Amino acid sequence: MKVLCYVSVICALALAACSTLSGTSKYRYIEEKPLPAFEKQTLDLPLATWAKEGLDYNHKLRIYIDGDAETSGLFSKTASIPYPIGEVAANDPYPFSLVLGRPCYYIQDAKCKPEVWEDGRFLPEIIAQMSIVVERWQKRYHPSEIEFVGYDGGAAVALLLAARIKNTPVSVITFGGILDTDRQAALAGKDLPPTSLNPAKETYKLVDIPQVHYVGGQDTVATKRLAEEFIKQIPSPRSIQLRLVPNATHTNWQQFIVKYVNQPVAKPEPPVAPQTEQPAQL
């Protein structure tokens, strides 16, 4: 797999991420500036995004979100993203999309520490910071719909962000998704901070959100059984699909995402009015 560029440029007190994704000349790099304290409670971390703006207003905006990172680099100052979804986005022909880097992804900064992208990756402050960036794009472009595409732990982030969007229809597509973060951490013998957010604890917010969850037939991490258990927790969902990709493992989704991400997502059906029982004919 090609490796995303990590060349950083010193600018003032921060180091910005490289200005383009590898092979993505259609994407424009944007480093979201520190967030004013009055917006929401955040950790005030740097956040990198890439935008592909091939359409004008009132079109669906597709937002890609990476999976969970690992510690890498000298003194563990940088996050290593094993399967960057930006590489997939580069090959997606859809013309209006955003690669939304999770805080401290693709960027070196003194505020970035391993606990940010490891134990703290689902903290409310992290999700709040990402939601602010999405809201900025929402106000900037007024998309007709926002479609989140998440891989691995980015699937949980996608669901949490979708549940917080207001005034715009949303949908979620996941690949090898970590959907119940507490359950997944327990299976790995780890504990997340008690304040961490978990889509499985916000299922009441996900009832009306169209979702397609792709699971790999050879995925031993985000298994079909775990996805089924997550879906069962959502009370009376309007539109949720579970699709099996037999040859997918947890680490080869880049072969499948572009193919499946452009397949139609079922929309919620309107509620059916109860029918009055008719008396039996004598």
In a domain, 138, yes or no: yes
Confidence of residue 136 (pLDDT cuts 50, 70, 90): confident
In a domain, 2, yes or no: no
CB 155 within 8 A of CB 121: no
pTM score, two decimals?
Answer: 0.82
In a domain, 272, yes or no: no
Q: For residue range 207-252, list pLDDT tens digits in order.
A: 999 999 999 999 999 999 999 999 999 988 889 999 999 999 999 9
Q: Which residue has the higher pLDDT, 149 or 84?
A: 149
160: left (phi over 0), alpha (psi -120 to 50) or beta: alpha
In a domain, 267, yes or no: no
In a domain, 238, yes or no: yes
Whether the predicted pLDDT of 53 surpasses 60 = yes
Mean pLDDT of 178-199: 90
* CA 202 – CA 199 distance, rounded (Å): 5
Q: For residue range 63-88, list pLDDT tens digits in order.
A: 999 988 776 544 455 666 766 787 78
Please state whether beta strands 96-100 and 145-151 pair in parallel, antiparallel, or not at all (unpaired).
unpaired
Domain range for 141 is: 9-261
CATH of the domain at 69: 3.40.50.1820
* CA 18 – CA 72 distance, rounded (Å): 17
Percent of the chain's residues with pLDDT above 70 = 73
* Number of residues that this document lists for the chain: 282
* CA 98 – CA 81 distance, rounded (Å): 17
Record the tokens describing residue 210, joined without a space. 């169209």
* CA 239 – CA 211 distance, rounded (Å): 6
Whether the predicted pLDDT of 123 surpasses 50 = yes
Lowest mean pLDDT among 7-16, 184-193, 214-223, 238-247: 7-16
In a domain, 279, yes or no: no
In a domain, 281, yes or no: no
Residue 127: count other Cβ atoms within 10 Å of its Cβ.
23
Residue 116: count other Cβ atoms within 10 Å of its Cβ.
22
| Domain tally, the chain | 1
In a domain, 273, yes or no: no
Report pLDDT for 236: 85
Whether the predicted pLDDT of 52 surpasses 90 = no
CB 225 within 8 A of CB 267: no
* CA 22 – CA 44 distance, rounded (Å): 27
Task: Give CA torsion, residues 193, 194, 196, 200, to 10 deg.
Answer: 130
* Chain centroid, CA 133 distance in Å: 13
